[in-house]
Amino acid sequence: MKIGYIGLGLMGGPLARNLIRDGKNVLVYDLSNDAIQQTLAVGTTGSAAASVEDMVDCDVVFTSLPLPSHIKDVMMSENGLLTIMKKGSVYIDVSTIDPSTAEEIEDFARVRGIGFIGCPLGKGPAQAEKAEQPIFAGGDKATFDKVLSVLNIVGAPVHYLGGVKQAYAFKLISNMIGMTNLTVLSEGLRLGERAGIEAKQFQELLVETGANSFQLQVRGPWILNNDFANRFGVSLALKDVRLGCKMADGWGYDARFTKQAKKFYEQAEQSGMGKEDCNAVYKVL
């Protein structure tokens, strides 16, 4: 099996490296040569593509790209990869995009005899590097079964949610909850400071209450240590929150709490924090 991987950033790079570590024949492409070299360094079965068109003969192609528009440009434009991939091949996307775009991609691929599986991810780069990244898959069940062994290499556990709509909606909703929770946590930490409670003790005690959360346990200590290094950046968080609010609006639901949180991420980005971790929202609260 020949596998192509497009996009070797914080999430895509680790997943591609997992495939190479497993001995798979992987052709990789990224705009950053450093990202390519870092990925190829983990094994001998990977190689660099000069362009995405080099992946035309791949049996499976992955993309991990920032925006829906990037995916459509690479895969669905006039000379996009989906227009030249061989029939019977499978396209797997692990980006975070909106359900309507995912369904458009699925229809575009189906007409050309290509399977499409949407596989948004659940955690961060550290988990991805260890192949401990939860995968939320959606698409045709027969196609999913066809590539399940490959998905089990790049991450775990692999969950099948049904259609691509369900998979990408789940991811966006998850991020809407997580990012809104982070703004509430930041607000609470600021109030704890005003109350004069020692910051480390404050966080430790919150864990014992109904205020406990993933964000408290993971990003709380980073905030405590003034660590805003980019694991999941403000700009990416804002992109996902915007997509989620747009999705909700399209379904006639007003995501009021998420829209309020979105304002703080917008403020953080406008203040030059776009490439800092999303916990930098603490600074603007």
Residue 196: per-residue pLDDT: 98
Residue in this structure with the two tokens 């660590």, named with its chain if needed: 227
Bridge partners (DSSP) listed for residue 2 = 25
pLDDT at residue number 64 = 97
For residue 283, the model assigns a pLDDT of 98
Whether this model's pTM surpasses 0.85: yes
Per-residue confidence (pLDDT) for residue 65, from 0 to 100: 96
Q: Which residue has the tokens 């997943």?
A: 15
Q: Are 254 and 248 in contact (CB under 8 A)?
A: yes
Instruction: Give the pair of three-digit tokens for residue 259.
Output: 């829209």
* Among 24, 72, 165, 171, the one annotated catalytic: 171
pLDDT value, residue 112: 97
Partners of residue 139 on adjacent β-strands: 117
Give the model's confidence band at 110: pLDDT under 50 very low, under 70 low, under 90 confident, else very high: very high
Pairing outcome for strands 46-48 and 25-29: parallel
User: How much is the pLDDT for 215?
Assistant: 97
Residue range 160-171, pLDDT digits in tens: 999 999 999 999
In three-state form (DSSP H/G/I as H, E/B as E, the rest C), the secondary structure along 29-40 is ECCCHHHHHHHH
What is the spatial order of strands in the sheet that 115-118 belongs to? 46-48, 25-29, 2-6, 60-63, 90-93, 115-118, 135-139, 158-160
Distance CA 248, CA 265 (A): 18
Q: CA dist 236 to 39, 71, 90, 247, 250, Å? A: 22, 15, 27, 16, 21
Q: Read off the pLDDT of residues 226-260 as tens digits, 9 standing for 90 and up.
A: 999 999 999 999 999 999 999 999 999 999 999 99
Give, for 226, the enclosing helix (H) or strand (E).
Answer: none
User: Treating both helix axes as pointing N-terminal to C-terminal, what angle do 12-21 and 141-154 enclose, rounded to 10 degrees?
Assistant: 80
Domains of the chain with bracketed CATH: 2-162 (3.40.50.720), 167-284 (1.10.1040.10)
pLDDT tens for 190-201 read 999 999 999 999
Active site (annotated) includes residue 283: no
Mean pLDDT of 90-108: 97
Q: What percent of the chain has pLDDT over 90?
A: 99
> Tokens 């609470």 correspond to what residue?
188
> What would the two tokens of residue 190 be?
């600021």
Rounded to an integer, the average pLDDT of 96-124 is 97
Q: What is the DSSP string of 38-65?
A: HHHTT-SSEEE-SSGGGGGG-SEEEE--
